[in-house]
Amino acid sequence: MRKLLIRTLLVVLAGLFTGCAVRPPVAPPPKVPEVEAEPVGPAAAPLLHTARQLASAGDLEPAGAQLERALRIEPRNPLLWQELARIRLGQRLYRQAEGLAARSNSLAAGQPQLRRENWRIIGRARNALGDHQGAREAFDRAGQEQP
Amino acid sequence: MAIASGKALLKRLLTRSTPSGKTPGRRSSGKSPRRSFAKKILLAGLLFAVLLASGYILHLDFVIRERFEGRRFALPARVYARPLELYPGLKLTAAELVKELQLLGYRENPSPREPGSYRWRESRVTLMTRAFVFGDGMQPPVALQADFAGGRVERLQPLGGSEDLALLRLDPALIGGIYPGNNEDRVLVRLSEVPQRVVDALIAVEDVRFHSHRGVDPRGIARALVMTLSGRSLQGGSTLTQQLVKNFFLSSERTLRRKLNEMIMALLLEVHYSKEEILETYLNEVYFGQDGNRAIHGFGLASAHFFDKPLMQVDLSEAALLVGMLKGPSYYSPRRHPERALGRRNLVLAAMAEAGVITDQQQLATRILPLGVVQRPPRGTSPYPAFLNLVHRQLRENYRDQDLRSEGLQIFTTLDPWVQQAAEQALVRRLEQLERNRGLPADSLQGAVLVSDARNGEVQAVVGGRNPRYEGFNRALDARRPVGSLIKPAIFLAALQPPHRYTLASLLDDSPLLLQQPGTEDWQPQNYDKEFHGSVPLYRALAQSYNVSTARLGLELGIAQVQENLRRLGVEPERPGYAASLLGTDAYSVLEMAQLYQTLAGGFRIPPRAIREVLTFDGRPLQRYPLAVEQVIDAPTSYLLTTALQRVVTEGTGRSLSRYLPEGLGAAGKTGTTDALRDSWFAGFTGSRVAVVWLGRDDNQPAGLTGAEGALTVWGQLMAALEQEPLLPVVPEGIENVWIEVSSGRRSAAACPDVIKLPFVVGTAPAEMAPCAAPREKGAVRRWFERIF
């Protein structure tokens, strides 16, 4: 308790002393809370479910169509983008898979599990395209995502 | 013989290659060796005549069969808008849903128990959807009630069901067709789908002995002959088969020779095809009049056109009316001549009673019914010709035009009718206002708009000119005009992208510039305000659209680099690139600019798509146009560029958008103005939509409008009329926000004057501190500070 009081006092004092220069040059980025949001809402959930069923039966094309429909309802859901990326990987549409996984990444700030999986998809797609250097970088990025 | 199912029939017809029927004509044979010369001549002559006749008949046989087979399936492609997806939480009011249902031709009904009907009571809409075959299969009709609250769908309850619906897709609106060259339109029906009353009425009136004759009815001919000889007319006596033959050749010429040909061909048709096949073709072939330049053919389309319902649902009165019209589709048109049509219908009913297919009671009960024709026919020719034009163009990359016009393909597009409506209204109204307010001649200005979904590139609206219904020159796709400053983001992208030679705070030189190159004219770019602005931070050069500093920046980075960026963003620049092209002297279409700004809205290149998928006429998936994305701008650079484009709207040439849009929306965009104010552009995006607007004159005379005075106002009105998601780009890794002193570009602090907070790629922010922010005993204080915490 006393320690806290001293700290508070010091902060106030320091503020008075140094004016506007007190702000450290680089503010540490705010910690993003590590909550994995509700993966998909109730409207898109049945579509995702159907897509997964179709995909596991090998019907990748219609599975992709279901996911695109789900994405029209939740266009910023990184999980849906990732699922579509995985479908394209299965269809051997590697450039597409890479693009979609990157898109998922761009929407998945603070969701390390999703991001790691996206980097793996990117790595596999790049390997298949013969870009082994790029693939290694992607797998490294996957390793750096802290769950 | 029962008629085969549709697919089997098609297959049978398509695989029938050689004639299997008997060939009419006989060979004659002579024998006796001793005949007179004259007799030989006669015989030879006869033989020759028979051969000639056989040849002629064979020829007719070939012609009529080819026509029969070829004509059966000439079905135009049908083009649909996006289907509306309903789910709890969707931003939609009851009134908006009802508007959509009306667009789909749903009928208001106090107890909506039929597919395609609804009832609206305050915040509840009860409806029954229509069955529809989508790419993922048949969706049966669903009866439900939708409850609304707070501008959203609250609940979807199926009637008679237990669990709420999580998602419901309505059937899509038909927005047009791609017709055969002769503009014939039809909705193909199978004989099995045709109600018996229609067939009964047809046979009772047109050909009582249809089922017993062999294509030609001698009794009918005898009657017709008597009529002809008595000098009354050549009318009558034609069987349905003969009428079908006549229809094939579209000639109303009344000569004995044509009549003879018709009879022979009718006989031949009956040799090759069953009565059912002939009847089915007849039902699909007959002509029911014009709708604009579209010809209405067949009972299937006639039923939709006059009663707005499928043929299967027509009642006795309607069946009689349709059959009655055949005698003279325009003379007996129920819309233009209702009394005549009514009289004719009752005549058909009488004939049916006489033939014994209906009772006298039925006849009397039906005679007193009204015609039941809907006043406004469902849309045939598209109300959205500019959008359809884009659809057609994208289809032609994969299909032969001939197939598009004849195979009955079903095209599912991305058009959003309400976005389209907002775009049309914004353009048309603003052009009128601008002309009025500025004393410009009426109808002198033109314009074009394209709106797409920022997240997936789906094109939601295309307006090709100020008369959106006019099927003419499509300015959104085919007009290429200099784009002015719309091109500048490609230069700033080159500056900001790795290796990050510039930051948003880098100071650019906006002092006079003179470019002298051997072989070209001297180039001396000017700012719009004819002034020079000294040192300006990069973000402001874009926001204020300063030409001189931007041109200097572009020259330093290299025109080749800028052109390379244009290609990455998705447009093909003109070659070779001149210095002036840095300031947008190159001409592009609205569609190309939409592609460019689509890429800027997020850093992923997503081709603008107008089509989702194509199904065959019987609902099998034929082709999908999948969502395709490719990252072409790395996330941090994209974030910086978006921030700069948002600054255009908050403090730059686009700030008058605040008159239309709330600030929290965070819209990003760029104005474009060309030489002597010939072209006025605005392109930009919110979190959910990308839109590009061009205004100018067709004769390329000055329109007298800057980008902000003209196109921006259309853009603002359009975007304000639509539901928008705010543009809140996710801050990517590797970005930090730093306070900067604007005038010096040095690092500063929030409490200092003349500062702005700008994002930087980590490690690129200026190190040098502005005097106000420079720590006097920075090192000591910090170390002391850090020890404590």
**Average pLDDT score over chain B:** 88
Chain A residue numbers with beta carbons less than 8 Å from the beta carbon of B778 are 21
pLDDT value at residue B23: 37
**Record: contact B166-A46, CB cut-off 8 A:** yes
pLDDT value at residue B19: 36
pLDDT value at residue B105: 84
pLDDT value at residue B318: 95
Confidence grade of residue B738 (pLDDT, cut at 50, 70, 90): very high
Does the pLDDT at position B8 exceed 80? no
User: What is the second-level CATH architecture of the domain A42-144?
Assistant: Alpha Horseshoe (1.25)
Does the pLDDT at position A25 exceed 80? no
DSSP string, A132-147: HHHHHHHHHHHHH---
Identical fold between B383-481+591-649+656-728 and B484-585: yes
Confidence grade of residue B380 (pLDDT, cut at 50, 70, 90): low
pLDDT value at residue B60: 86
Task: Say what angle helices A94-106 and A112-128 make with each other, to 10 degrees.
Answer: 160
Give the gap in angstroms from C-alpha A71 to the nearest C-alpha of chain B: 9
Does the pLDDT at position A19 exceed 60? no
Give the lowest-confidence range in B17-31, B431-445, B621-635: B17-31
Does the pLDDT at position B22 exceed 70? no
Confidence grade of residue A23 (pLDDT, cut at 50, 70, 90): very low
Q: What percent of chain B has pLDDT over 70?
A: 90
Does the pLDDT at position A42 exceed 90? yes
Give the lowest-confidence range in A32-41, B44-53, B464-473, B732-741: A32-41
Q: Domain locations in chain B?
A: 83-171, 383-481+591-649+656-728, 484-585, 735-788
Beta bridge partners of B611: B413
Does the pLDDT at position B376 exceed 60? yes
Inform me whether the C-beta atom of residue A35 falls under 8 Å from chain B C-beta atoms: no
Please give the ipTM for the structure prediction.
0.77
pLDDT value at residue B70: 64
Residue of B135, B631, B749 lying closest to A99 (CB–CB): B631
Inform me whether the C-beta atom of residue A18 falls under 8 Å from chain B C-beta atoms: yes
**Record: contact B733-A66, CB cut-off 8 A:** no
Question: Phi-psi region for residue B681, left (φ > 0), alpha (ψ -120 to 50) or beta?
Answer: beta
**Record: contact A69-B85, CB cut-off 8 A:** yes
Inform me whether the C-beta atom of residue A128 falls under 8 Å from chain B C-beta atoms: no
Fold of the domain built from segment(s) B383-481+591-649+656-728 = Beta-lactamase (3.40.710)
**Record: contact A66-B628, CB cut-off 8 A:** no
- Residue of A47, A54, A106 best to disrupt the B interface, most CBs of B under 10 A: A106
Segment (H or E) for B739: strand B735-741
Say yes or no: domain B83-171 is CATH 3.30.2060.10.
Answer: yes
Dist. CA A93–CA A85, nearest whole Å: 9
pLDDT value at residue B779: 52
Neighbours of A91 (CB within 10 A): 15
Give the list of residues 6+ apart from residue B563 with CB closer than 8 angstroms, or none. Answer: B573, B575, B577, B581
B187/A50: higher pLDDT: A50
Chain A residue numbers with beta carbons less than 8 Å from the beta carbon of B602 are 106
pLDDT value at residue B519: 81
User: Do residues B125 and B116 make contact, with C-beta atoms less than 8 angstroms apart?
Assistant: no
**Record: contact A26-B738, CB cut-off 8 A:** yes
User: Do residues A97 and A88 make contact, with C-beta atoms less than 8 angstroms apart?
Assistant: yes
Give the lowest-confidence range in B533-537, B684-688, B775-779: B775-779
Give the lowest-confidence range in B42-51, B86-95, B691-700: B42-51
State mean pLDDT over B5-29: 37
Using DSSP, state whether B19 is helix, strand or coil.
coil
Asked whether the CA dihedral B33, B38, B44, B50 is positive or negative, the reply is negative
State mean pLDDT over B53-79: 80
B380/B398: higher pLDDT: B398
pLDDT value at residue B34: 60
Confidence grade of residue B248 (pLDDT, cut at 50, 70, 90): confident
Determine the straight-line distance between the first and last CA of chain A, rounded to whole angstroms: 34
pLDDT value at residue B258: 79
Does the pLDDT at position B776 exceed 90? no
Residue of B88, B626, B788 lying closest to A64 (CB–CB): B626
How many beta-carbon pairs under 8 angstroms link A with B? Answer: 113
pLDDT value at residue B233: 47
Active-site residue (options: B238, B382, B452, B485)? B485
A52/B269: higher pLDDT: A52
pLDDT value at residue B225: 73
pLDDT value at residue B398: 82
Active-site residue (options: B184, B206, B424, B741)? B206
Six-digit token pair at B740? Answer: 């900067």
Six-digit token pair at B692? Answer: 């590009």
Chain A residue numbers with beta carbons less than 8 Å from the beta carbon of B747 are 25
Inform me whether the C-beta atom of residue A43 falls under 8 Å from chain B C-beta atoms: yes
pLDDT value at residue B13: 34
Give the lowest-confidence range in A36-40, A73-77, A122-126: A36-40
B540/B579: higher pLDDT: B540
**Record: contact B737-A66, CB cut-off 8 A:** no
Residue of B85, B739, B762 lying closest to A73 (CB–CB): B85
pLDDT value at residue B57: 87
User: Do residues B190 and B300 make contact, with C-beta atoms less than 8 angstroms apart?
Assistant: no
Inform me whether the C-beta atom of residue A57 falls under 8 Å from chain B C-beta atoms: no
B25/B229: higher pLDDT: B229
What are the Cα distances from residue B137, in Å, to A65, A91, B91, B95, B413? 12, 22, 27, 29, 17
User: Do residues B108 and B119 make contact, with C-beta atoms less than 8 angstroms apart?
Assistant: yes
Dist. CA B76–CA B91, nearest whole Å: 35
Residue of A14, A65, A71 lying closest to B624 (CB–CB): A65
As a whole number of Å, the CA-based R_g of chain A is 22
Confidence grade of residue B9 (pLDDT, cut at 50, 70, 90): very low
- Residue of A103, A111, A129, A144 best to disrupt the B interface, most CBs of B under 10 A: A103
B184/B721: higher pLDDT: B721
Using the 8-state DSSP alphabet, how is residue B368 labeled?
Answer: T
Give the gap in angstroms from C-alpha B375 to the nearest C-alpha of chain A: 36
Confidence grade of residue B90 (pLDDT, cut at 50, 70, 90): very high
Residue of B166, B612, B624 lying closest to A61 (CB–CB): B624
pLDDT value at residue B63: 82
User: Do residues B581 and B573 make contact, with C-beta atoms less than 8 angstroms apart?
Assistant: yes
Q: What residue in A sits closest to B638 (Cα-Cα)?
A: A106
What are the Cα distances from residue B182, in Å, to B254, B264, B367, B615? 23, 27, 37, 23
pLDDT value at residue B518: 83
B206 labelled catalytic: yes
pLDDT value at residue B682: 98
- Residue of B87, B453, B631 best to disrupt the A interface, most CBs of A under 10 A: B631
**Record: contact B88-A42, CB cut-off 8 A:** yes
Task: Say what angle helices B559-569 and B590-600 make with each other, to 10 degrees.
Answer: 90
pLDDT value at residue A36: 45
pLDDT value at residue B408: 84
At B251-286, the pLDDT tens digits run 666 677 777 888 888 998 899 899 999 999 899 889
B506 labelled catalytic: no
Inform me whether the C-beta atom of residue A129 falls under 8 Å from chain B C-beta atoms: no
Does the pLDDT at position A47 exceed 60? yes
Fold of the domain built from segment(s) B484-585 = Beta-lactamase (3.40.710)
